Amino acid sequence: MLSKLERGTASPTAALIGRISGALGLTLSSLLTTEQDGSARLVRAIDQSVWRDPQTGYLRRQVSPLSDMPVQLVEVELPAKAEVGFPASAYGFIRQQIWVLAGTLEFAEGTTRHRMQVGDCLELGPPADCVFRNPGRAACRYLVVVTRR
């Protein structure tokens, strides 16, 4: 499957990308962003790496430049009624905070459930299987702040 992804002959789902990133010990940003100049300090919106899950329409934008800084900023747009899950292995080597910018986000962190509205910010706990769900009729947008452990 990795070979198909590298050749561009397969379009992975968000769940598969999460499993691959966890197995390789890479952030989703490192795995999905391939064309960014590692020395660039400014990445214009038009040049930011964007990836869409073909199954759910989940849209992921790498906002911050990829660098040796310990922080990455990622903007996500989750379509109405869409749901995306990631395995605990994808979170084993990172810490995250989620800040809701528009809409409503229902976030399941293992057995803990959070219903988040615009302006709410959540720091994720220990690695657990996670599900992002948009119960609304409009897209939900949120910012994810990722730091390596």
Backbone phi and psi for residue 119, each to the nearest 5 degrees, phi listed first = 90, -20
Pick the CATH number of 2-148 from 3.40.50.300, 1.10.3720.10, 2.60.120.10, 3.30.1330.10: 2.60.120.10
Q: pLDDT by residue (tens digit) across 6-59? A: 555 566 666 666 666 666 666 666 656 655 555 678 989 998 888 888 889 999
35 neighbors 49 (Cβ within 8 angstroms): yes
Q: pLDDT by residue (tens digit) across 57-111? A: 999 998 988 777 889 899 999 999 999 998 888 888 889 999 999 999 999 999 9
7 vs 3, 10, 87, 114, CA distance in Å? 6, 8, 25, 38
d(CA 89, CA 96): 14
Task: Name the E strands within 2-118.
Answer: 50-52, 59-62, 71-78, 83-86, 94-102, 105-109, 112-116
Instruction: With CA atoms as reference, report the closest residue to 93 among 37, 39, 27, 145.
Output: 27
Residue 6's SS3 state is helix
Query: In the chain, what are the domain boundaries?
Result: 2-148
Tokens 């395995």, located at residue: 87
Q: What is the pTM of this model?
A: 0.79
35 vs 29, 56, 65, CA distance in Å? 12, 24, 11
d(CA 120, CA 87): 23
